[in-house]
Structure 1
């Protein structure tokens, strides 16, 4: 890779990371001084494994809804197109340890969920593509390796 690209993750050597991990992927400062912190929350090893779309979709709904029970700093939680994780964006919150704690609480609540929020044709653009069981399996696997989250590289 010789040319630096505009997208931060395109400049990350995906062969050197060791999932699962939670990595600060960037900080953007707004014109009024607000800062957006973007975290790479990687569930599976890039180019070796991936999550299935119904599980990703349900886990996105669950994390988006549940995370806001714990923080008013959440800007967005969005799945990666490569199906290996999510981006978590927060505003004016730069405490990495608190982000890890937030994610742990959210994933623990995912395991207790009995349904996927907004899993219907009125509130969701592809309501047929959901799997609570798959979302919970992914959350469980991520939580089992909680101690590894800060370690991005092997």
Structure 2
């Protein structure tokens, strides 16, 4: 297969085993700063996906709450395939701490009582949210925390 410019397009999605958290790439800036991009895969590619209202709500909840656990967050963005998120951090290469930040953030989601910025002023599609769906996604991801380090399916 031809090498593509987009890192995830070079990932064999038939060989991964979600959920997982993997370093997807790094970029070094001209002033020495480094951005670390993580693939936070919630569901198995081409087998499952997150329904849009739940995905939208967990995105809002994680985007707001993750910044309470680290000041090195650049962005957390949903994947178009609805199977996960990309998390970008600046000058932060401690994988174990990234896992801890994610765990704390998902725990925040589980106890949330509302979706932040879930209104027409602050959100581009405020009608498409599900707090309960977001909580279920977070609970499922947390229940499989032991699997987060295992990116590829074990060979039989």
Q: TM tier, shorter chain?
A: over 0.9
Shift of 1:73: 0.3
Residue matched to 1:5? 4
Aligned positions, number: 153
The runs of 5 or more residues in structure 2 that have no matched partner are: none
Alignment root-mean-square deviation, CA: 0.4
Q: Distance in 2 between matches of 1:114 and 1:4?
A: 44
The runs of 5 or more residues in structure 1 that have no matched partner are: none
Shift of 1:83: 0.3
Give a deviation string over 1:60-116, Cα, whole Å, max 9, x none.
000000001111000000000000000000000000000000000000110000000
Q: Distance in 1 between matches of 2:34 and 2:54?
A: 31
Residue matched to 1:139? 138
Q: Distance in 2 between matches of 1:102 and 1:138?
A: 17
Residue matched to 1:117? 116
Taking the TM superposition and a 5 Å limit, the aligned residue runs for 1:14-53 are 14-53=13-52
Shift of 1:139: 0.4
Q: Distance in 2 between matches of 1:4 and 1:112?
A: 42
TM-score by length of 1: 0.99
Q: Distance in 2 between matches of 1:68 and 1:17?
A: 28
Q: Distance in 2 between matches of 1:34 and 1:55?
A: 34
Taking the TM superposition and a 5 Å limit, the aligned residue runs for 1:79-118 are 79-118=78-117
